[in-house]
């Protein structure tokens, strides 16, 4: 091995080490001890054939003028597909393409059949009538009035504000008896007196008769409930149905013929369709026992090569390379295989046989007391094993061990370092492990969310109930005005607790959908704390919002919501009970 070859090896190894972003092994090629530098070759036998497949078909196209020669060929069977000269074949240039050729003497004009030589065909949409039934109103000429219902417009009654009536306070005199102490006799005597009692009476509104709405005649349709169709305007009636101009033909009843494009005449001919296909076979012969290591490398692209044999002919003979029986038998086998492709419709136009030799070197070297192997293809070094690969394997094993013992944060740091080494073949393994680490970190954060959710649900919810049970100013007022919905206000504490838990559960669901693995924390407990903090913050915000809503006098919203929830639960319970009863009767 010359000094020039040694420097070439070191430069190639240094170029390989420069892809390491960690720079741990930067220029480690200067420190290696080269123990072996062995040249090897790869020989490749290749046979390429240009296949020419031809088919004869009839063809027609719109005739756009020009001279047409005398008709001498009328049927495809009269055409010899191989007698027609083509200019697409270039010897030695293999192609995968399709060409079309018109047979001389086959062109002739013919009247277009679909349009009968008129250049136009009947419009298929309107049936050559020029009009169609109005699609908007289906021929009725009217639409349903969008402003009213059956010609009537409902407006909220201004007298009762849509309630249908109001509570009127009335009074009456009632006689009551009350005990009184007679000081003269020292006895209790009953004294009768009249007191005035007040009560609310529902009084039906006289303006709307208790309906809450006042109906008036619609001014748009004048009480008919119908308005004129805006497309056909209720005009152009045919057979009792309104019509509009056909949009396909613009009322002309005819369309330009697509077959002849309005030219009335077609140009018919016989065409030859030529399909050129490149067919190739190759066989590799390796002078190396470790072909499995060399096979995945880009040796065709990077290795310097030389052509040992090349020949191009219309039809290659057998025994092209008698100096080597192995290569000669390989080419003969390829020739026999390609010969089977030739049929009446497919010919082999020319063939090329090539034997190419690729040169590369196997390098063995020592570094830091260990032996390593690699291949040099041109100027590129491809390692079989190297210090960088060993270091990446050690990092991957350390990451697996850390993940196994629950240290996902440490495993992620190790995998990020391994990823920075840019070792080919390890990226998929590193990505799979990173996915497991990220999943583990998300699970840890969701654990914090779950723990804090149940803590708040068990300990904060009773506080919410006590707070709203003591602070319920709406209930006394509702009872004082004798509101018929006062019982809805009575369940305000329960409704607030349920809404508090539902909103907290929704907040937990939203938080659990986030990806927390993108956060770069130094300890797993920080992810747990993040989940705990999110639930605590959500609980405080929800409590404040509910308190503000009730302070503004909107507690009836939550109370009625609770009332609806209670009825839904009852209905579900009844349905389940009925299903169980039916099943018990059947079985």
Tell me the per-residue pLDDT of 183-230, one tens digit each, with 9 for 90 and over. 677 676 777 777 777 777 888 888 888 888 888 888 888 888 899 998
Phi, psi of 516 (to 5 degrees): -90, -5
Task: List beta partners, residue 200.
Answer: 169
Residue 47: pLDDT above 90?
yes
DSSP string for 279-299: EEEEEEEES-S-HHHHTTS-H
Q: What is the mean pLDDT of residues 484-503?
A: 68
- Beta-carbon contacts of 543 under 8 Å, excluding residues fewer than 6 positions away, are 460, 464, 500
pLDDT for the residue 330: 93
Residue 410: pLDDT above 70?
yes
Rounded to two decimals, the pTM is: 0.56
Greatest C-alpha distance within the chain: 155
Residue 255: pLDDT above 90?
yes
pLDDT for the residue 483: 52
Q: What share of the chain is helix, strand, coil (3-state, %, to 5)?
A: 35, 30, 35
Q: What single DSSP character describes residue 342?
A: -
Q: What is the mean pLDDT of the chain?
A: 83
Tell me the per-residue pLDDT of 265-324, one tens digit each, with 9 for 90 and over. 999 999 999 898 999 998 888 776 677 777 788 888 888 899 999 999 888 999 999 998
Determine the Cα–Cα distance for residues 109 and 266; give it in Å rounded to an integer: 6
> What is the percent of the chain where pLDDT is above 70?
89
Determine the Cα–Cα distance for residues 189 and 177; give it in Å rounded to an integer: 10
Tell me the per-residue pLDDT of 125-177, one tens digit each, with 9 for 90 and over. 999 999 999 998 989 988 888 888 888 888 888 888 888 888 887 877 777 66
Q: What is the mean pLDDT of residues 250-259?
A: 92
**β-bridge pairing 120-122 and 254-256:** antiparallel
Residue 333: pLDDT above 90?
yes
Determine the Cα–Cα distance for residues 488 and 495; give it in Å rounded to an integer: 10
**pLDDT band of 94, cuts 50, 70, 90:** confident
Determine the Cα–Cα distance for residues 496 and 77; give it in Å rounded to an integer: 90
Determine the Cα–Cα distance for residues 464 and 547; give it in Å rounded to an integer: 10
> What is the percent of the chain where pLDDT is above 90?
19
Q: Confirm if 563 and 491 have CB atoms less than 8 A apart.
A: yes
CA neighbours within 13 Å on the CB side: how many for 63? 18
């Amino acid at each position: 091995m010359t000094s020039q070859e040694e420097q070439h090896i070191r430069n190639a190894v240094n170029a390989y080490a420069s892809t390491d972003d960690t720079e741990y092994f930067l220029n480690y090629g200067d420190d290696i001890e080269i123990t072996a530098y062995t040249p090897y070759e790869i020989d490749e036998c290749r046979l390429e054939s240009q296949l020419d497949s031809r088919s004869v078909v009839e063809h027609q196209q719109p005739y756009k003028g020009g001279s047409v020669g005398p008709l001498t060929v009328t049927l495809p069977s009269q055409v010899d597909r191989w007698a027609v000269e083509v200019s697409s074949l270039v010897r030695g240039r293999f192609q995968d393409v399709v060409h079309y050729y018109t047979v001389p003497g086959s062109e002739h004009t013919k009247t277009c059949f679909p349009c009968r030589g008129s250049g136009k065909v009947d419009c298929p949409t309107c049936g050559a009538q020029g009009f169609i039934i109005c699609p908007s109103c289906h021929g009725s000429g009217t639409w349903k009035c969008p402003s009213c219902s059956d010609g009537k417009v409902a407006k909220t009654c201004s007298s009762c504000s849509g309630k249908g009536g109001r509570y009127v306070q009335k009074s009456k005199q009632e006689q009551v008896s009350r005990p009184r102490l007679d000081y003269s006799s020292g006895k209790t005597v009953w004294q009768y007196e009249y007191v005035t009692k007040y009560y609310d009476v529902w009084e039906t509104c006289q303006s709307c008769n208790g309906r809450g709405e006042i109906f008036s005649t619609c001014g748009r349709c004048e009480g008919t409930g119908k308005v004129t169709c805006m497309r056909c305007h209720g005009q152009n009636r045919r057979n009792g149905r309104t019509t509009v101009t056909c949009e396909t033909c613009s009322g002309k009843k005819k369309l330009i013929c697509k077959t002849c494009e309005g030219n009335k005449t077609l140009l018919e001919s016989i065409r030859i369709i030529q399909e050129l296909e490149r067919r190739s076979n190759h066989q590799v012969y390796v002078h190396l026992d470790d072909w499995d290591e060399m096979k995945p490398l880009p040796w065709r692209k990077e290795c310097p090569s030389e052509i040992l044999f090349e020949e191009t002919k219309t039809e290659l003979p057998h025994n092209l390379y008698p100096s080597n029986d192995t290569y000669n038998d390989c080419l003969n086998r390829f020739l026999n295989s390609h010969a089977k492709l030739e049929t009446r419709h497919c010919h082999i136009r020319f063939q090329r046989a090539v034997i190419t030799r690729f040169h590369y070197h196997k390098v063995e070297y020592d570094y830091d007391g260990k032996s390593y192997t690699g291949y040099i293809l041109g100027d590129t070094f491809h390692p079989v094993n190297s210090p960088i690969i060993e270091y990446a394997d050690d990092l991957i094993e350390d990451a697996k061990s850390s993940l196994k013992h629950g240290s996902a944060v440490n495993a992620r740091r190790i995998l990020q370092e391994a990823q920075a080494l840019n070792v080919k073949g390890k990226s998929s393994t590193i990505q799979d492990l990173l996915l497991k680490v990220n999943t583990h970190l998300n699970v840890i954060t969701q654990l914090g969310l779950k723990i804090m959710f149940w803590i708040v649900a068990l300990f904060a919810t009773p506080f919410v109930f006590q707070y709203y049970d003591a602070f319920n100013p709406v209930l006394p007022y509702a009872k004082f005005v004798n509101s018929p919905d006062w019982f809805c206000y009575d369940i305000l504490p329960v409704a607030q607790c349920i809404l508090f838990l539902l909103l907290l559960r929704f907040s937990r669901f939203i938080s659990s959908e986030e990806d927390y693995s993108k956060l770069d924390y130094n300890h797993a407990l920080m992810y747990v704390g993040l989940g705990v903090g999110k639930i605590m913050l959500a609980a405080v915000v929800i409590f404040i919002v509910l308190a503000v809503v009730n302070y503004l006098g909107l507690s009836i919203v939550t109370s009625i919501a609770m009332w609806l929830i209670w009825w839904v639960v009852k209905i579900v319970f009844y349905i389940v009970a009925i299903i169980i009863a039916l099943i018990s009767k059947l079985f």
